[in-house]
Structure 1
Amino acid sequence: MTRPTVSLGVGPDGKEIRVDKIGLGLMLMTWRTTPIPDEQCFAAIKAGIDALDDGVKLFINGGEFYGYNLATTNLEMIQRFFDKYPEYADRTFLSVKGGLKLDQLQPDGSPANLERSVSNIIDKLGKNKRLDLFQPARVDTKVPVKEAIGTLSDLTKKLGFDHIGMSECKASSLETGNSVHHITAVEIEVSPWSYEDETKRVIEAARKAGTAVIAYSPLGGGFLTGQIKSHADLPEDDFRRRLPRYQEENMKHNMAIVDGLSAIAKRKGITPAQLCIAWVSSLGDHVIPLPGSSLDTRTLENIAAGDVVLTKEEQEEIEKVLEVNAVKGARYGTAAQAYLWG
């Protein structure tokens, strides 16, 4: 059986870009006090690429600010990977989030900052890997969407990147962005415990526009795998410790979702992670789950979920679990919540 893929339009060579249905998020390789060793990160990335058919690219996602104290260590790690393995450059589609003020986690969609951000990313990536897609990490409510996307449209020509994305935007903002320049991909959080009404609206608006949905955190930040049982299981420097859903009382309540999904996965002979990824993937032919991984074995486990087909009965059973066990706790703290669905 041929693995499903998604078309992202054409590249600078005029050829169609086809990416695998499962992507790879690179954030947690570096957004920690002690980054993971290069060798381990590189093995995880290579495993995903090598698992794909010829001509199919792996969608990978990094961030300008994915480093301790918002440092650019994620970009530097990506540069080192492609410096060591330049032959993998054409086998990946690289999306990078930026557009924030680098000294703080606040969106800045001004023309000056967007140009600074794109230029910095291109410079950090070096000569061996092209920036395929740039996306502002959040919508700056002080700058009209039409103006921000118009600026990026001009920058594709001025700075030499090919695709524009959006992130954590609502459906109407995506539609507005697409009226200015085609939005190749929109990144939103989608998982069995993050499937809001606006999530559904964005997925539908993206389908109509021919925009891919990059579904980040399909495993609920790892919670839905069943490997995190309590707040104490998280490392001291783990950012999830600060999130409402990971507070002890909420975790106890939300464990019912994990138990229900794990039971379905066990009967199907797959892991809970694969079940969650397959469920997110089933939400549309244009939906690309983006699990993060820094282990080659975990990357392969996640990629294998692209071959999982859920029956109608299994989907109904998953929906029943989610209906009976409403998730408790917000996705982010108060300050970060304000930047969702921009």
Structure 2
Amino acid sequence: MEMRQLGKNGPRVSAVGLGCMGMTDFYTTGVDAQEAIATVHRALDLGVTFFDTADMYGPHTNEELLGKALAGKRDQAFIASKFGIVRTPGDPAARGVDGSPEYIRRAIDGTLKRLNIDTLDLYYQHRIDPKVAIEESVGAMADLVKAGKVRYLGLSEASAATLERAHKVHPIAALQTEYSLWSRDPEENGVLETCRRLGIAFVPYSPLGRGFLTGALKSPDDFAPDDYRRSSPRFQGENFAKNLLLVERVRQLATEKGVTAGQLALAWVLAQGDDVIPIPGTKQRRYLEENIAALQVKLSAEEAEALRALFPVAEVAGGRYTDVGMKLVNG
């Protein structure tokens, strides 16, 4: 397994991590705990050390599942979780954001209990709370490091300016955001440049475009009735059809190279720099194995640029979240 460093002074983790969200939430009508746990174990066998979850996935059930999967294997895993998105009981679509010190202190204790660990390796603020100064939130997170409850701190979907301010309070080891062939905002809004200037690892989630870049999805009807993607702008109606044409270009190039479209798309993300550590999500071993094999797909600088040109983001139809969801990113 290729290893990459998590920030300037952080540990080395597997170059490809495992996003665990879909094992219990958003993309599934039912939880196959046995296969999910087997997928985590297979990831360990393949050398994956970096596992990503959050307290809002479920909510709470994702951390519990990962805790069960890693029982007795704690020393093999670098575990990241997130706090800050608050879900409303009885209304699965409702979202709130809380970055208050009081909430942070409660949240970490719940996360540690559900994961059945004493110390969390990496703790992200999932979304920035506009009601609380980032200095106050990160200050409370820094207290968790002093207390031995957390080792490293991260932010998710934070703007470049917020990242700068946070890093002055306590070193930020990782910035997590959506990044892929069809989501390249961090290249334009200064986030990627800021990470590199400050020595912060860049952790892309959804590097396969929520599964779309694999080419396996042919119609919105492929989704389960409660699949999150049914309400995502890029997966609806004409947008789906337009975006499918872009994916077909990637699939054709992948066929020429003798790999899958998903492997080519993931190889492109990996080729953007040694400070880039993607966390593709899956709940099945066969897709995990396909994703890890992307590490064997080497792209020349010319090939990477050709892929970029082949998939111009200006032609991507639809936003990556609804208008309401977009208000919670780049905080």
Offset at residue 292 of structure 1 (A): 0.5
Offset at residue 101 of structure 1 (A): 2.7
1:110 pairs with 100, 114, 139, which one?
Answer: 100
- Any gaps of 5 or more consecutive residues in structure 1? none
The alignment yields a C-alpha RMSD, in angstroms, of 1.9
- 2:225 and 2:19 map into 1 onto residues whose CA distance is 22
- 1:329 and 1:196 map into 2 onto residues whose CA distance is 14
Counterpart of 2:36, as a letter, is C
Aligned twin of 1:78? 66
Offset at residue 201 of structure 1 (A): 2.0
- 1:248 and 1:94 map into 2 onto residues whose CA distance is 38
2:201 aligned with 1:212: yes
- 2:66 and 2:313 map into 1 onto residues whose CA distance is 42
1:256 and 1:325 in contact (8 A); partners too: no
After superposition, what is the alpha-carbon deviation per residue over 1:167-203, rounded to whole angstroms, capped at 9, x for unaligned? 0011121111111111111100001110025566212
Counterpart of 1:76, as a letter, is E
2:57 aligned with 1:66: yes
Counterpart of 2:32, as a letter, is P
2:2 pairs with 1, 4, 27, which one?
Answer: 4
Offset at residue 105 of structure 1 (A): 1.9
Aligned twin of 1:97? 82
After superposition, what is the alpha-carbon deviation per residue over 1:43-92, rounded to whole angstroms, capped at 9, x for unaligned? 1112222112xxxx52110010111xxx3111111121123xx1x21111
SS in 2 for 1:261: helix
1:188 and 1:199 in contact (8 A); partners too: no
Counterpart of 1:20, as a letter, is S
After superposition, what is the alpha-carbon deviation per residue over 1:251-297, rounded to whole angstroms, capped at 9, x for unaligned? 11111210111111111111111111111111121111111011112
State the aligned residue count.
325
Offset at residue 159 of structure 1 (A): 5.4
- 1:236 and 1:186 map into 2 onto residues whose CA distance is 32
Offset at residue 34 of structure 1 (A): 4.1
Say if 1:144 and 1:198 are closer, same or farther in 2 by CA, change over 3 A. farther
- 2:238 and 2:87 map into 1 onto residues whose CA distance is 34
SS in 2 for 1:215: strand
After superposition, what is the alpha-carbon deviation per residue over 1:289-327, rounded to whole angstroms, capped at 9, x for unaligned? 111011112111111112221023321221221238610
Aligned twin of 2:91? none
Aligned twin of 1:37? 32
SS in 2 for 1:97: strand
Aligned twin of 1:119? 109
1:190 and 1:199 in contact (8 A); partners too: no
Say if 1:10 and 1:187 are closer, same or farther in 2 by CA, change over 3 A. closer
2:160 aligned with 1:171: yes
1:264 and 1:314 in contact (8 A); partners too: no
SS in 1 for 2:57: coil
Superposed counterparts of 1:1-342, under 5 Å: 3-8=1-6, 17-32=11-26, 34-52=29-47, 58-67=49-58, 71-83=59-71, 86=72, 88-103=73-88, 104-127=94-117, 130-158=119-147, 160-196=149-185, 201-323=190-312, 326-342=315-331
SS in 2 for 1:237: coil
Q: Percent identity?
A: 36
1:119 and 1:159 in contact (8 A); partners too: no
- 2:284 and 2:85 map into 1 onto residues whose CA distance is 29
2:54 and 2:82 in contact (8 A); partners too: yes
- 1:34 and 1:263 map into 2 onto residues whose CA distance is 32
Counterpart of 1:212, as a letter, is A
- 2:151 and 2:205 map into 1 onto residues whose CA distance is 22
Offset at residue 223 of structure 1 (A): 0.7
Counterpart of 2:6, as a letter, is L
- 2:193 and 2:50 map into 1 onto residues whose CA distance is 21
Offset at residue 210 of structure 1 (A): 1.6
2:183 and 2:313 in contact (8 A); partners too: no
After superposition, what is the alpha-carbon deviation per residue over 1:201-260, rounded to whole angstroms, capped at 9, x for unaligned? 212211122211110001100011111111111111101100000102101111121011
- Any gaps of 5 or more consecutive residues in structure 2? 89-93
Counterpart of 1:81, as a letter, is A
Say if 1:311 and 1:143 are closer, same or farther in 2 by CA, change over 3 A. same
- 2:85 and 2:231 map into 1 onto residues whose CA distance is 21
Say if 1:324 and 1:29 are closer, same or farther in 2 by CA, change over 3 A. closer
Using the size of structure 2 for normalisation, the TM-score is: 0.93
